[in-house]
Structure 1
Amino acid sequence: MRLLLTMDHTEHQASWGPFPPVGSPTGVAAGRNEYRAFVCPADPAHPHRMSTQ
């Protein structure tokens, strides 16, 4: 499995990049600490795996 995405537990406006924030945060929250999504690089038909900490 290959790591596709890592997301902090809550959204911070400053975390979207070097540009000034536009609008309001979405309010996304995942798990207690961190959310990770994994994919299979050999076969896209394999199910994704999710992990929270």
Structure 2
Amino acid sequence: MSNIMQYLIQLGEEFRDSYKTVDGRIDEVIQSLDLLSMRIAEVERRMNPNLTDEDYKDE
């Protein structure tokens, strides 16, 4: 019975480690997405100089 418990504990620890890795990657993707959104908004402002900042409040 002890071996089974050790195995299950090990599986749980491995899962936690992989979850931390995935969570870190998700944070990186969110940061990249935010940066891309800001860059797209900047490009739109440069291409459409008549637009105001209020046009971008919904984003």
Query: TM-score if structure 2 supplies the norm length?
Result: 0.19
Higher helix residue share: 2
Query: TM-score if structure 1 supplies the norm length?
Result: 0.20
Larger RCO (CA under 8 A, 6+ residues apart):
1
